[in-house]
Structure 1
């Protein structure tokens, strides 16, 4: 459908605190953003009986019969009923339109703007563009057209790979009594960039910027598009243009966030992102929390303590970037990777006191492993006790490591505690650790306890090795308890027969 381009658009800049969110239609996209996945009344619980009946009629009645079937129900409806039915009838546009007309008779043709917009969105999502424009003309006569209507049109055209038609729709907004201002332009760009076509938005900006002056949101949308497409080169160009057009603005952190994230994913990686981060910081501008999280993850991967400290210190001056558990875990993990026990435990201690952030399973496991590997057995025992008290379980690997190191370090009580936790929470790969515990207890001259846990292992069908049995035999013989060994051996032989 040919749409005439309107020139001489009145320019008006609107400073947005929050990017426009259009709820119509956009929640019907599939994960790929191409094939729509529409909401269905079948998947919607607790629907009012009246709405459910109407949805069933729309879904199961041939188009030619729907008026008669609806009349036969005798149902009286209100505006909200119409909206609810339309929201759940996107799969059946032809019948839904007939329902819309039928309901108009009861409402004296006084449909709500939302109901009209649902019809526009539904037709657009099914690429019924001629019918969509006819409905838009009807809305215009009713004086109900709004930016939400055109936002839906933009999204439908872009989803159908008709970006040029979306651009033309923007150009004709004035003809329909809607302002093609910066708010509308940002809505258009949002639809285009969300679909991975940021280059089309960038090219159109070159044409339209003489009529509509871009604002901070415009560039934030473009930069978010480049980030999504992992195009660091174009992100850098758009960033330079943004600074030239609107300067530096501490409130523009969504744009800075997307820009730095795009650089982080580019060939320059963390080094390039940190270079521009420092440039921003020198001007009192900071990105959002997403960049801090992504950058700290890169610092962990690259063991870059210096960059991580700079990022961490910078968050303290950014009100919107208070550390959370994910950020704390990244820092603790980084210090653990370089075996800096003091800094890792300091971060752990300040979590709750400084920011009210409570450790999770990952926090405890990172620190438990670090303390054990550095032979801080007393601290490791305390960490284990605290995490279990808070209902967190050490990983299987940490349990294995802890039993081995506690036994080797002469702390059988802690080793036994970890073993009990292990058999309570894991039901496989227990043989090696169990044999280490039993053998270690025997070597520490705790033969009765070694026998106790060996016997328990056999009851649980955890295999005792012949080497462990031999060590137990020696210990029991030395203690004059050969009969105890004979009982244990019989149990072991019976298990071997069952397993063979």
Structure 2
């Protein structure tokens, strides 16, 4: 793009095992697209680590043995050791072994060459792409290009090959080399078209270098017209880097270049999600959202989910309602359970529990079903608001639907029901609590026993006190003392004596 600089295939990295043309090749001429090379690389800073056979369960014994040989044998000896095994390999075996041998590039390449003799040099295009990726991720760029030249002879190069090269260069801060690779890829039978350009930009943006991707696009678009995916990639890069300023600029460029298109949902979704992360996030979002809405352009569900979570965080019920009405009420988006949970939580926070209840009731009509979080959020605020009757209904409903109240909600509910004279519900919650939890029950248990005693339900107080002792739940001495007073007044000191005996025995 404005450069005539030719890509050198001999850069500053080398590999002793870079000779792929070890004998005459008879590769398949198929150019069928393959899945992208699967890199086992996980980047930690700039130091790559690779998944090996040791972290992969249920491997076929043959694949496992081959991986162990590669991992534990010097590259000079690996072919002899492989010969001694007498193992025969298939194309699929080679692919599986290569995917798990990124940490041992020299022996892995020797294995690839050794297996080529068995397969009459008919490795799958995917296996070749894995070799290219393996060498690139280990910064063995000379050997990587040797492999690419061998692939060219067999007509095996695809965009997946170059996507791997782009990511390998970008991962070690060699963006210029990735760009130069893009500029010479046509020499290898792969056109530098918009799909290839997007692949390059994606590799650059994924590595946190969106500014460089935007800079190259300004040059490249003189020859290649960007498409919707191009801007979606750049906007996703801005989102990942939390760069609101660049996101605004990129979005403006997209509108100028592409116009407004209702089908361009990913770009709108990513842009608005990025704006949320700015200092005046929701206000900015609503401003741009109104502009989009006027043109019948909308973001996707991901944005709505993130926006609702942000509204919950800031207590912005108005903003949440505006977005909900536009995307759910007007254009018929079908929110999922987490989104309903956000709306229910938000309206509980602003003390609009009746509105929260309406959301709870309507969600099943949109194919979303209340879960434990849904009920617990709503139940918690009913308890805080001292809405005893509503809390009773919700508790019955949630347990019927096999959703268990949280430990904290159980404890608070027992206290609320006892404080309001509803011993029946307090006991129901307590039974649920001891069935579901096995620790931190002392405080609530003592509270229940004391509450029953204080409301002249002494027989029930004794019953649950005995049950607590049997379960190993600590009954306080002060609780015992109060029970003693009540039982003595009723002339049932012997009941207390038996209770005390059990208590001491524990």
TM-score, normalised with respect to structure 1: 0.90
Is the 1:25–1:118 Cα contact (8 Å) retained in structure 2?
yes
Indicate yes or no: 2:337 matched with 1:316: no
Indicate yes or no: 2:18 matched with 1:5: no
**What is the correspondence of 1:125-204 to structure 2 with a 5 Å cutoff?**
125-204=137-216
Is the 1:28–1:38 Cα contact (8 Å) retained in structure 2?
yes
Alignment correspondent of 1:370:
381
Which range moves more in the overlay, 260-269 or 364-373? 364-373
Is the 2:265–2:297 Cα contact (8 Å) retained in structure 1?
yes
Which range moves more in the overlay, 78-87 or 42-51? 42-51
Equivalent of residue 53 in structure 2, options 41, 51, 59: 41
Is the 1:182–1:213 Cα contact (8 Å) retained in structure 2?
yes
Alignment correspondent of 1:23:
36
Indicate yes or no: 2:296 matched with 1:284: yes
Deviations 1:76-98 (A, max 9, x none): 33322222222222111111111
Alignment correspondent of 2:11:
none
Deviations 1:1-47 (A, max 9, x none): xx96369xxxxxxxxxxxx99631445233x4743332322333443
Is the 2:268–2:299 Cα contact (8 Å) retained in structure 1?
yes
**Structure 2 portions without partners, runs of 5+:** 8-32
Structure 1's 66 and 462: CA in aligned 2 closer, same or farther, altered over 3 A?
closer
Which range moves more in the overlay, 72-81 or 132-141? 72-81
Alignment correspondent of 2:262:
250
Which range moves more in the overlay, 464-473 or 448-457? 464-473
Indicate yes or no: 2:438 matched with 1:431: no
Indicate yes or no: 2:466 matched with 1:455: yes
Whole-angstrom CA distance in 2 between matches of 1:284 and 1:425:
49
* Secondary structure of the corresponding residue to residue 251 of structure 1: coil
Is the 2:337–2:371 Cα contact (8 Å) retained in structure 1?
yes
* Secondary structure of the corresponding residue to residue 323 of structure 1: coil
Alignment correspondent of 2:251:
239
Quote the RMSD (CA, aligned, Å). 2.3
Alignment correspondent of 1:229:
241
Alignment correspondent of 2:453:
442
Whole-angstrom CA distance in 1 between matches of 2:497 and 2:58:
67
**C-alpha displacement at 1:489, in angstroms?**
4.2
**Structure 1 portions without partners, runs of 5+:** 8-19
Is the 1:4–1:168 Cα contact (8 Å) retained in structure 2?
no
Whole-angstrom CA distance in 2 between matches of 1:275 and 1:357:
29
Whole-angstrom CA distance in 2 between matches of 1:190 and 1:266:
23
Deviations 1:224-267 (A, max 9, x none): 01100111111111111111110111111111111111111111
Alignment correspondent of 2:418:
407
Equivalent of residue 58 in structure 1, options 70, 73, 77: 70
Alignment correspondent of 1:334:
346
Which range moves more in the overlay, 467-476 or 445-454? 467-476
Is the 2:35–2:126 Cα contact (8 Å) retained in structure 1?
no
Whole-angstrom CA distance in 2 between matches of 1:112 and 1:320:
46
Whole-angstrom CA distance in 1 between matches of 2:399 and 2:475:
27
Structure 1's 82 and 320: CA in aligned 2 closer, same or farther, altered over 3 A?
farther
Structure 1's 233 and 371: CA in aligned 2 closer, same or farther, altered over 3 A?
same
Whole-angstrom CA distance in 1 between matches of 2:39 and 2:333:
29
TM-score, normalised with respect to structure 2: 0.89
Q: Which runs of 4+ in 1 moved over 4 A?
A: 317-321, 489-492
Alignment correspondent of 2:87:
75
**C-alpha displacement at 1:63, in angstroms?**
1.4
Corresponding residue pairs, total: 479
Whole-angstrom CA distance in 2 between matches of 1:376 and 1:429:
26
